[in-house]
Amino acid sequence: MSEHCGIDVAYGVQHMRNKLQEHFGDKIIISEINGKQNVVTFRNTVRSILHEFYEQTNTNRSIDEEKKSIIQAAAKILKSEILSSETSTKALYPSPDELSAQNNIKFLTDTLNSLGFCSSYTEIQKFECCAAAEKGNDIPNFVAESFLQYVADNVDHNSGTLDGNNTFHGMGIMAAVTPGSFGTKPIPRIDVTSEQIALLAKINISYYKPSESNRMASCVYSNLRKMNYKDVDCSFMVNLLWKVS
């Protein structure tokens, strides 16, 4: 086009490509063939060329050659369909929080951050600390009719030392509320330390000391109902027992 119209008045390659896609939509395929960029082909033309090629080369061929030709033709059609499909990059890539929670790999998150796909690992940790400091141990929009359940789990870090030193044993607790309530309050960006976060939801350790009067000894339990167990071979259920154990 630049040869006929001149460089100043000719469309650029990307602009011309966008105009063609805007006008023809999914009727055309723009691809690269043997290193040649921006080859425009009508979709119906591609199908007819492949079909004609298959019909012309279908004579005097072995069964293996015919199978290979069908596979190659199908691959070209699938490739053209994939290239012409509309996709959303934002919907395909996971969020930074999902990457941190599922993989917990600093290298992966920072690598994707350098490519512009997500926030950095340090920024994610910064957001989590700010969210913990802002929320504290308050449960927003909690009413008496809600069902509240606390879920706790422990974590052991570097617990296999020979002398038992430099180990960490912690317990994390979260609250689950039904029905759920999701707020839209923004999280302010503040500077907060680990010590400050630990003081926000600190739980003192209390040791259980049984009373002098053992109340468990006064409990009376009723006899369990005897089960009618038949002496049968249950070895066929070993696999099921192993899977559910």
Range of the domain at 55: 2-84
Q: What average pLDDT does the chain have?
A: 75
| Three-class secondary structure assignment of the chain | CHHHHCCCCCCCHHHHHHHHHHHHHHHEEEEEECCEEEEEEEHHHHHHHHHHHHHHCCCCCCHHHHHHHHHHHHHHHHHHHHHHCCCCHHHHCCCHHHHHHHCCCHHHHHHHHHCCCCCCHHHHHHHHHHHHHHHCCCCCCCCCCCEEEEEEEEEEECCCCCCCCCCEEEEEEEEEEECCCCCCCCCCCCCCCHHHHHHHCCCCCCCCCCCCCCHHHHCCCCCCCCCCCCCCCCHHHHHHHHHHC
The number of domains in the chain is 1
108 in a structural domain: no
Task: Say what the pLDDT of residue 222 is.
Answer: 81
115 in a structural domain: no
Task: Say what the pLDDT of residue 52 is.
Answer: 63
Task: Say what the pLDDT of residue 159 is.
Answer: 76
99 in a structural domain: no
69 in a structural domain: yes
Report pTM.
0.40
224 in a structural domain: no
At 168-201, the pLDDT tens digits run: 888 888 888 888 777 777 888 989 888 888 888 7
14 in a structural domain: yes
At 65-101, the pLDDT tens digits run: 778 878 887 888 788 777 766 666 666 666 666 666 5
Task: Say what the pLDDT of residue 131 is.
Answer: 86
206 in a structural domain: no
23 in a structural domain: yes
